Amino acid sequence: MSTGARSDVALHAEALGRELDWLERALDLRFAAHFGAAGADGGSGAATPPGSAVTWPPPPELPAGSALAALVAEHVLGVPERLVLALALAPHLRPSALDLFFVKNRDFDRAFTEFGGARAKYHGGFLPTGETAAFLLAGDDLAMRIQALRLFDSEHPLACAGLVHLDGGVGSEPQLAGALHPGAETLQRLQTGVWHKPDYNARFPARRIVTALGWDDLVLAPDVMDEIDIVRAWLREGPALMDAWGLGKAVKPGYRCLFYGPPGTGKTLTATLLGQDAAVDVYRIDLSMVVSKYIGETEKNLATVFDQAQSRRWILFFDEADALFGKRSATQSSNDRHANQEVAYLLQRVEDFPGTVILATNLRANIDEAFARRFQSMIYFPMPDATQRLRLWHSLIRDPDRLAPDVDLPALAEQHALSGGAMVNVLRFAALQASREGSGRFGAAHLRRGIARELRKEGRTA
């Protein structure tokens, strides 16, 4: 690690250390006020009467250039916001700061209800919840508690900027029962000064997709490219254009597209290139991590993605979207009712999302009509014709010297109806076969065997 990197880490660590020191002083004051003369020894002495608010120590001055100082200034965070953020950070950076919450109520031989706290599977420390934050800020003052609730409103900077979030999906439990977490990007930024892009994991069931290809590598019919150019125009200047034409109030934010057509025709590549063109990240939702047989879990998993993407210019890409956005059916059982509720929830989240959502499916007919009416673009990706197939062959085989003299690409393009994705598989197989034989070129026999394999997978013959 370079000296510059070490000094940057030391700067960010100093800022976080000062903030956590301040949090510990605030916690000491809250406990002293809460337990009053009885002291914080686990006794059940009377708490301080409502109205006797704690006077917080002034927040620390943060070193200039630290990520925390920049974050506080950027979002104009006051004392309550900074305390909640520090509380969320504590289990990750200074877990011992929360050990005082382990004190027990001796009258009931259990933890104090007002402290909140979530159970961890492996972590031995105290995990704060929204209830913990409310206790810190308000104690048992009901009016102050109600004021503290606004910090978790979706429009508040803490939530809409993804600085902290509460676990959702707690059903009929109190709204502050969810565990309190710092945003993954926020945690990374405050420690290193570098924005972290969310990674694929159980808490974030989406993966950022990128490509080394460009628009010249995408071979589509002119009318399809014209439709794609409309989406590109929206991503570049859509909201500003709507305001300029006086449509800003009438047009809902966000853009919703449906890409449909046979597999391998360029739907995923197009979505990735749209993000690359607009300099925004494209996240493909992993449906295997989203869909759950348990009631409410699918919606909870999707909420995780939508909530993190809410304040960012991401493109959310749902491949094989009919697995989630399929047609609703007549309600004949509780399972039907649950499935229909999932579709209704998705409809609401997609329609309210201020960014761009792209759904891809092989069969348009499988998508619920309620979604279809809300798409701004519905783009069909057909199988390439012979002219387009020849362009694809030439685009994929960039080095003509790799072709043996017996290869007739125009004849292959004319004779075999393949998608671009199938052609890639053919060339991969042909390269492996040629390499096994010690040849440095694609031969006609190699390509024909590869084509035959692809056609068999589709139930066709060469």
Three-class SS state of 192: helix
pLDDT for 50: 39
For residue 272, how far is the Cα from the chain centroid? 16
pLDDT digit string, tens, across residues 150-175: 998 878 888 888 889 888 654 567 88
Q: Report the percentage of the chain scoring pLDDT > 90.
A: 49
Joined tokens for residue 37: 């003369």
Q: What is the DSSP letter of 41?
A: S
pLDDT digit string, tens, across residues 61-80: 999 999 999 999 999 999 99
pLDDT digit string, tens, across residues 343-389: 777 778 888 888 899 989 888 777 767 667 778 899 999 999 999 99
pLDDT for 392: 94
Q: 458 falls in which pLDDT band (50, 70, 90)?
A: confident
Give me the CATH topology for the region 206-380: Rossmann fold (3.40.50)
pLDDT for 51: 38
For residue 179, how far is the Cα from the chain centroid? 19
**Pairwise pLDDT comparison (198 vs 202), residue with the higher score:** 198
Q: How far apart are CA 235 and CA 230, in angstroms?
A: 9
Q: How far apart are CA 370 and CA 19, in angstroms?
A: 49
Domains of the chain, residue spans: 3-192, 206-380, 386-457
C-beta atoms surrounding 244 within 10 Å: 10
pLDDT for 196: 65
pLDDT score of 438 more than 60 = yes
Q: How far apart are CA 291 and CA 302, in angstroms?
A: 9
Q: Report the percentage of the chain scoring pLDDT > 70.
A: 85
Q: How far apart are CA 83 and CA 106, in angstroms?
A: 28
**Are the CB atoms for 354 and 252 separated by under 8 Å?**
no
Q: Considering only CA atoms, which of 75, 80, 90 is closest in space to residue 59?
A: 80
pLDDT for 38: 41
pLDDT for 58: 92
Torsion angle defined by CA atoms of residues 226, 231, 233 and 235, in that order, rounded to the nearest 10 degrees:
-160
Instruction: Kindly state the average pLDDT of the residues 168-183.
Output: 78
**Pairwise pLDDT comparison (2 vs 423), residue with the higher score:** 423
Looking at domain 386-457, which of 2.60.40.1180, 1.10.8.60, 1.20.1050.140, 3.40.50.300 is its CATH number? 1.10.8.60
Lowest-pLDDT choice from 96-110, 126-140, 220-234, 416-430 = 96-110
Q: How far apart are CA 438 and CA 328, in angstroms?
A: 55
pLDDT for 5: 47
What residues contact residue 186 under an 8 Å CB cut-off, 6+ apart? 71, 85, 162, 163, 164
Q: 301 falls in which pLDDT band (50, 70, 90)?
A: confident
Three-class SS state of 169: coil
pLDDT for 155: 80
**Pairwise pLDDT comparison (390 vs 343), residue with the higher score:** 390
The mean pLDDT of the chain is: 84
**Are the CB atoms for 31 and 40 separated by under 8 Å?**
yes
**Are the CB atoms for 350 and 317 separated by under 8 Å?**
no
Three-class SS state of 358: strand
Instruction: Kindly state the average pLDDT of the residues 187-196.
Output: 84
Q: How far apart are CA 137 and CA 33, in angstroms?
A: 12
